[in-house]
Amino acid sequence: MIRMLQSQYILIFSLLFSLPIVFFLAPRFLSPRQLPIPLPDELDDLSLFNRAISSSFSSPSSSTFSFSRLGSHNPTLKIAFLFLTNSDLFFSPLWNRFFNSTSSKFYNIYIHADPDSHLSDPGGVFKGRFIPSKHTERSSATLISAAKRLMATAILDDPLNFYFALVSQSCIPLHSFDFVYKTLLGSNAFGFRHVRHKSFIEILENESILPSRYVARGKNVMMPEVPYDEFRVGSQFFVLTKKHALMVLKDRRLWRKFRLPCFKIEACYPEEHYFPTLLSMNDPNGCTQYTLTRVNWTDSVNGHPHMYRPPEVSPELIYTLRQSNFSHDYLFARKFSVDCLKPLMDMADSVIFND
Ligand SMILES: *[C@@H]1O[C@H](CO)[C@@H](O)[C@H](O)[C@H]1NC(C)=O
Ligand SMILES: *[C@@H]1O[C@H](CO)[C@@H](O)[C@H](O)[C@H]1NC(C)=O
Ligand SMILES: *[C@@H]1O[C@H](CO)[C@@H](O)[C@H](O)[C@H]1NC(C)=O
Ligand SMILES: *[C@@H]1O[C@H](CO)[C@@H](O)[C@H](O)[C@H]1NC(C)=O
């Protein structure tokens, strides 16, 4: 009897001891491609983010930019275009046309390219605009890190970068540069004082996908930093003000949770939750709550939106994609297949940039 009890105890104890081990290793077994971000990468990033934060103390950083301090030398605020890619920038000729004839005093370009992707040189305005990059992977927090690296590098590079627009290799412009610049900065870029600029980022609540996305890393894992009713979702593609870019770089609290690997790969899109949740918690009224990047989710497959093919590309498509239910036209759109480049170039000047 005692022997039996003992063996039962041993069984129970060994089960109890192995539970945390199983728990710890489970993400690796269930999703072997999902590894935590390596510590050296995290430390590299931390030092980059801290340098960007310190540099901002001596430069315009608030959303209510005070021009009076600068006297008559009103600087021209810039848009930093942040290209996040893991393949060739196959629409670079279209983007070159977008930036063509625009003075570089209005914008900067930064490219984060997965080092395993061996890009060919996109040339033109993209020449020399690659930033030190690290491996990125779908269904992991590496896409968040890459976006933060782009913002930090842009903040360090040019204190006049004021808006930070994240795009990918399958995004295209829907309007001319002048139109984009006026939409974001308008006449406020000069003259106006204490104008409050908002970030254009989608922030959605009460979406049917939220419960499964919330527990992708395990039950109760997000607590206490991220209660379910503060958990949000939104497009990965946003245009943030410098104030919000810095807010993101300063965050450690939410990052501790969002960087954790998921058990459930099919519910793992950290980059669609981290930014909307963080900004919604800290400054919901400073955000439009909608994105400027149009995407078509009809008949989406495996988390991928509709990809437009050449027969669909027409002036009417561009006009339709621009239309929005919000206060601004869409400025960018995704996703387009590589072979859409030619039909898009053919109507670049007559349609896309003719506004
Ligand atoms: C800009 O456009 C002009 C005229 O269309 C063209 O000659 C020039 O090569 C273009 N430059 C770039 C960088 O595309
Ligand atoms: C989401 O649901 C909560 C609770 O039911 C409600 O208070 C809130 O207004 C809803 N938000 C939207 C945008 O529908
Ligand atoms: C969205 O994609 C569907 C196919 O998935 C297509 O039929 C529809 O025309 C697209 N909508 C727009 C506005 O392009
Ligand atoms: C605008 O709202 C209507 C009605 O909800 C919807 O059918 C349409 O798809 C929306 N348009 C866009 C561009 O989101």
The reported pLDDT for the residue numbered 59 is: 61
**Residues 164-180 as b or e (16 or more Cβ within 10 Å = b):** bbbbbbbbbbbbbbebb
Q: Tell me what the mean pLDDT of segment 42-64 comes to.
A: 81
Q: Is 206 in the pocket of ligand 2 (CB under 6 A)?
A: yes
The rounded Å distance from CA 100 to ligand 1 centre is: 6
DSSP secondary structure letters along 249-311: HH--TTHHHHTSPPS-GGG--GGGTHHHHHHHHH-GGGEEES-SEE---TT-BTTB---B-GG
CA gap 233, 126 in Å, rounded: 31
DSSP code, position 113: E
> Which atom of ligand 2 sits closest to the CA of residue 204?
13
CA gap 167, 155 in Å, rounded: 17
CB of 150 closer than 8 Å to CB of 163: no
The reported pLDDT for the residue numbered 195 is: 58
pLDDT in tens, 249-267: 999 999 999 999 998 888 9
Residue nearest to atom 10 of ligand 2 (CA): 206
DSSP lists the bridge partners of residue 107 as 79
Residue nearest to atom 1 of ligand 1 (CA): 100
DSSP lists the bridge partners of residue 165 as 81, 239
Q: Is 313 helix (H, G, I), strand (E, B) or coil?
A: coil
pTM summary value: 0.86
Q: Is the pLDDT of residue 304 over 90?
A: no
Burial of 337 from C-beta contacts in 10 A (0-12 / 13-18 / 19+): middle
The rounded Å distance from CA 304 to ligand 3 centre is: 13
